[in-house]
Amino acid sequence: MARPIPLELPQRDPRQELLTRLESAPAAHAEALLDAYELIQQLHEKHIFETLRGVLGAGDKLVETVTSAAETPESIRALRNAMILGKMLGSINPDLLQCLAVAVGETLGSERKPVIDPPGLFSLLAQFRQPELRRSVALINRFLDVLGNQLKRQGTAQSG
């Protein structure tokens, strides 16, 4: 008849395993530890820890102040406006925004002194012969048309 083989496992001490891992960690992770010490030193030099201690010490008062400031109508409008602006920027074609950025840089951001004297009537009419100017004027007209329609809808929705 077969006899069972006794299985005796040594007792496992999780604390001792953790201590062993902790003792070998500085050698295994020396570069990472040095980087962490350098980061901590930079945070100390910039007084970040003092600021964080102040924030944690203020705790409830800080939360009350932020909450009361966030409940004001101005803050609510600012938050709504920020969300609308984010949505608006997300809807703009990046190529069009790039063209706008270049145009602003070349006209308003140039080092040259902007033209102060307004052009004469005939020189304005001569500029309208350029298709680029007509294209940009058409874009501005389209924008103003859509804006006017939206303002009209808002006015009728609020009065109705």
Residue 130, sorted as left (phi over 0), alpha (psi -120 to 50) or beta, turns out to be beta
State the Cα–Cα distance between residues 34 and 143, nearest whole angstrom: 57
Better pLDDT: 130 or 63: 130
Determine contact, residues 21/27, Cβ cutoff 8 Å. Answer: no
pLDDT tens figures, 26-61? 888 899 999 999 999 999 999 999 998 888 888 888
Lowest mean pLDDT among 59-63, 122-126, 142-146, 154-158: 154-158
Cα separations in angstroms, 88 against 47, 105, 141: 38, 22, 19
Which pLDDT does position 112 carry in this prediction? Answer: 66
